[in-house]
Amino acid sequence: MPDMRAAVITRPGGPEVLEIQHRPRPAATDVPHGVLVRVVASALNRADLVQRAGRYPAPPGVPADIPGLEFAGVVEAVAPGVAAWQPGDRVFGLVPGGAHAEFLVTHAETLARVPDALSLTDAGALPEACITAHDALRQARFAPGERVLIHAAGSGVGLAAVQLVRALGGVPIGTARSTAKLEAARGLGLVTGIVPERDAEGGPIFADAVMAETEGHGADVVLDLVGGAYVGESVRAMAPRGRLVLIGLLAGRTAEVDLGRVLTRRLQITGTVLRSRGLDERVAYTRAFVEEVVPLLASGRVRLPMAAAYPLEELAAAHALLESNDVAGKVGVRIAAG
């Protein structure tokens, strides 16, 4: 059986535990309706860092020690019965793991066609951020004209959310830990940026600023990639019947929330994660991505800046950079020539 290069988590720990090893190449027939993709490019996400540290195991049926959630590449082979794709097609998408390798296999209906206007290098850094942001907006039942508060607005998901909200007729308001990250978001359509102040316990303060910017209305939708104390402060910043979608927990897993305000304002709090979803949901969010987001990518109305890009052999350095929290935009991973 031919082999491939893959980034491997050899044990839980820091970036130094990553090694490039040779592993057996998967086959298109390894999964029902499978497509074998030669991966050209990918990117890093917070989930990769947490998995490397030993706190986010891969779901069943996914390579346990090969990270990577998004990819762009070229179809190498298809399983019998797959008619939608053929060798040579340029594709991109999300997988629950295993994308930081030269080949991967995935179900045919979880793939999207890369627009001609995009390089595979650029396309490899788009699926996770764009699908996460778009799916969260759909769960929040976002409507044109609504104000959307986006935490970590300078992150990949944050920058995608800012642009999607603008493209779909909303008003994006963002928080970030630095003015530099907010400037990156402003360049892509952020209307108002806030660097939160801190209370005596170190918690974020931004609700009053949001209320002022919305003339007392508050945020109709909150996309929270931070969690922790941001949740309680977001509740203070929300409009009546507002919807908060919790996407990440960078600031912690617990929060103190004014439940009286949740009741009287009829607020909704929803948690979301993509990686553990079943095939039917993965197909559904891929279809929504193809129908509503890919045209925006093709036209250039939505794009993601690449803060840096590393070859697969330097994946440890890429992890260290993302872990520093000093980047706005995506950290790409070059896997093969394309």
CATH 3.90.180.10 residue window(s) in the chain: 3-126+275-334, 133-271
Predicted pLDDT at 87: 98
Spatial contact of 108 and 78, defined as CB atoms under 8 Å apart: yes
What is the rounded distance in angstroms from the CA atom of residue 109 to the CA atom of residue 63?
Answer: 20
- 66-97 burial string, b = 16+ CB within 10 Å, else e? bbbbbbbbbbbbbbeebeebeeebbbbbbbbb
Question: What residue type is 56 in one-letter code?
Answer: Y
Nearest-CA neighbor of 150 among 128, 122, 130, 171? 171
What is the rounded distance in angstroms from the CA atom of residue 282 to the CA atom of residue 305?
Answer: 25
Model confidence pLDDT, tens digit, residues 315-333: 999 999 999 988 888 999 9
- Residue 337, pLDDT > 80, answer no
* All residues at 6 or more sequence positions from 128 whose CB lies less than 8 Å from its CB, including other chains: 43, 45, 69, 70, 94, 156, 157, 274
Dihedral (Cα; 201, 207, 208, 213), 10-degree rounding: 150
Q: Which superfamily does CATH assign the domain made up of 3-126+275-334 to?
A: Medium-chain alcohol dehydrogenases, catalytic domain (3.90.180.10)
Model confidence pLDDT, tens digit, residues 1-59: 689 999 999 999 999 999 999 999 999 999 999 999 999 999 999 999 999 999 999 99
Model's pTM, two decimal places? 0.96
How confident is the prediction for the chain on average, in pLDDT?
A: 96
Give pairs for 17-24: CB < 8 Å, separation 24+.
17/52, 18/52, 18/315, 18/316, 18/319, 20/312, 20/313, 20/315, 23/66, 23/101
State what percent of residues in the chain have pLDDT above 70: 99
- Residue 338, pLDDT > 80, answer no
Q: Which superfamily does CATH assign the domain made up of 133-271 to?
A: Medium-chain alcohol dehydrogenases, catalytic domain (3.90.180.10)
Predicted pLDDT at 325: 87
Model confidence pLDDT, tens digit, residues 249-304: 999 999 999 999 999 999 999 999 999 899 999 999 999 999 999 999 999 999 99
Q: What is the mean pLDDT of residues 303-311?
A: 95
What confidence tier does 217 reach under pLDDT thresholds 50, 70, 90?
very high
